[in-house]
A = this chain, B = another copy of it.
Amino acid sequence: MFRTHHQLSETRRPRVVIVGAGFGGISAAHGLRKAQADVVVLDRNNYHGFWPFLYQVATGILETQEIAYPVRSLLRKQDNVDFRMADVQSVDLDRREVLTDRGAFEYDYLVVAGGSATNFFGNDELAEHTFGLKDIEDADRLRNHILSAYEEAAAASDPARRDALLTFVVVGGGPTGVELSGQLATLAHRTLPREFPSLDLSHVRVVLVNSGDSVLQTFPEVLQAHARRTLEKLGVELRLEQHVESVEDGIVRFGDGSQLGATTVVWAAGVRAGDLTAALDVPLGPGGRVPVTPTLNLESRPEVFVVGDMAYLEGYKGDKAYPMVAQVAIQQARRAAKNIEALESGRELGEFSYLDKGQMAIIGRRSAIVDGFGMRLRGVPGWLTWLGLHILYLSGLRNRIVVLLDWLAAFVSPTRSTNVITRPDAGERVAQVQERLLAAHRESPAELEAA
């Protein structure tokens, strides 16, 4: 399994292994650009994904590859860093080795930045019957599924069957759930009517489910209210103070006992730290995150740093845990890089301090809410701010230009030219859910009517 052993020579520069090429991993590598060290970045994918845009890939605004940038290209200009595409399997903290499917990597310093995964809270059935939205594979699968559902609906003769195909349930009222449901409504009521002239798209239902009494609950109340109004104007049905009990055979069962036939259910209700945290052999904190010291390393292993979604550290707005967002990962990674240089030169480590740049969410086609630096923006001014900042953080000139172009197109025209179904098995899967739904429907036809 571990074919290659990447051994260290005797007289040498310190070796830093960074696990993960997300916002944290790339920022840590960049932070070490002047360090007298040999840095190697490991990731199971060869690209850095811009996850805030996943929902745009899922709804056909952007192409899959627009939100991915090859890690090797990102790191090309930095002489002291190499990349290896490798799936990390475990970490031997005593031997200071990262074990992967492409050999073992020795380290003097380790930065763990493995990001997060969808949290189904241990419910395997949910994991199997809903779509997550955490990586390119997820987004690509969801886009294929959504478009196949419309194609299947165009061919469906049974109304109950057709309605289930045109019902999209999004669980989770955070930014991902809000952005996705807004785009699903726009797709249904603005883009697709011209492409499916024979299908009555007034049957489409986009349902956003949240356990709280509002959406985007980390934002100020006035912006939450604006978001709710905008979503309702777009045609999104809000089901607040509600939760999903189960999803099976195309039927969603809610906490209050009501049910809904839906071929597409997206689970955006929770994230947790990725599975890699188990490899570190330390007791985990809330969300499966690894508790770190204020200098971002492990209490017992000062040479091991954990940053971003995987790290558990309190101190946000008083004594809350730092949220699982890109800005925290980026700033923590920079601090970890500085602290590695400090350890190496015998200087004192610095504690992590967070510059809160605020938060943003886009709702629908040209409206966004922004809360930061004392500003509260909404509507078009919010959208323009959102747009500018996101373009800035996107990697690569080519992707910036193409993304801008696609947004411009989405802004002025209802067309989405990337609405292509690229997975030959997508239709088959939709049909399978449909068959099961139909079977369930025949057994107890009344169930589907409740809602």
Known contacts A76-B195, A157-B4, A417-B73: A422-B82 contact under CB 8 Å: no
Instruction: State the CA gap A36–B134 with chains docked (Å).
Output: 49
Residue with the highest number of chain B CB atoms closer than 10 Å, among A76, A140, A157, A422: A422
A437: Cβ under 8 A from any B Cβ: no
A279: Cβ under 8 A from any B Cβ: no
Instruction: Verify B155–A102 contact, CB threshold 8 A.
Output: yes
Instruction: Verify B84–A155 contact, CB threshold 8 A.
Output: yes
Instruction: Verify B396–A401 contact, CB threshold 8 A.
Output: no
A99: Cβ under 8 A from any B Cβ: no
Instruction: Verify A3–B157 contact, CB threshold 8 A.
Output: yes
Q: Which residues of chain B have C-beta atoms less than 8 A from A76's C-beta? A: 194-195
From the candidates B44, B156, B398, B420, name the one contacting A46 in the complex (CB within 8 A): B420
From the candidates B44, B65, B155, name the one contacting A4 in the complex (CB within 8 A): B155
Query: Which candidate, A233-241, A291-299, A343-351, A402-410, is the interface stretch facing chain B?
Result: A402-410
Instruction: Verify B65–A422 contact, CB threshold 8 A.
Output: yes
Number of copies: 2
Instruction: State the CA gap A334–B409 with chains docked (Å).
Output: 31
A214: Cβ under 8 A from any B Cβ: no
Known contacts A65-B64, A195-B73, A420-B70: A84-B154 contact under CB 8 Å: yes
Known contacts A46-B151, A64-B64, A84-B154: A70-B419 contact under CB 8 Å: yes
Instruction: Verify B398–A85 contact, CB threshold 8 A.
Output: no
Instruction: State the CA gap A219–B154 with chains docked (Å).
Output: 46
**Chain B nearest CB: distance from A134 CB in Å?**
13
A147: Cβ under 8 A from any B Cβ: yes
A391: Cβ under 8 A from any B Cβ: no
A411: Cβ under 8 A from any B Cβ: no
From the candidates B102, B147, B157, B197, name the one contacting A82 in the complex (CB within 8 A): B197
Q: Which residues of chain B have C-beta atoms less than 8 A from A103's C-beta? A: 155
A217: Cβ under 8 A from any B Cβ: no
A45: Cβ under 8 A from any B Cβ: yes
Instruction: Give A411-434 interface residues, CB cut-off 8 Å to B.
Output: 415-422, 424, 427
CB closest residue in chain B, given A46: B421
CB closest residue in chain B, given A66: B63
Q: Which residues of chain B have C-beta atoms less than 8 A from A4's C-beta? A: 155-157
**Chain B nearest CB: distance from A431 CB in Å?**
8
**Chain B nearest CB: distance from A425 CB in Å?**
10
Instruction: Verify A422–B154 contact, CB threshold 8 A.
Output: no
Could you jot down 17 A-B contacts, CB within 8 Å?
Answer: A3-B155, A3-B157, A4-B156, A45-B421, A63-B65, A64-B64, A64-B65, A65-B422, A68-B420, A70-B419, A76-B194, A76-B195, A84-B154, A84-B155, A85-B151, A398-B409, A402-B402
Given A63-B65, A70-B416, A398-B415, 9 new contacts (CB under 8 A): A45-B421, A46-B420, A47-B420, A63-B63, A63-B66, A68-B422, A85-B151, A137-B422, A399-B417
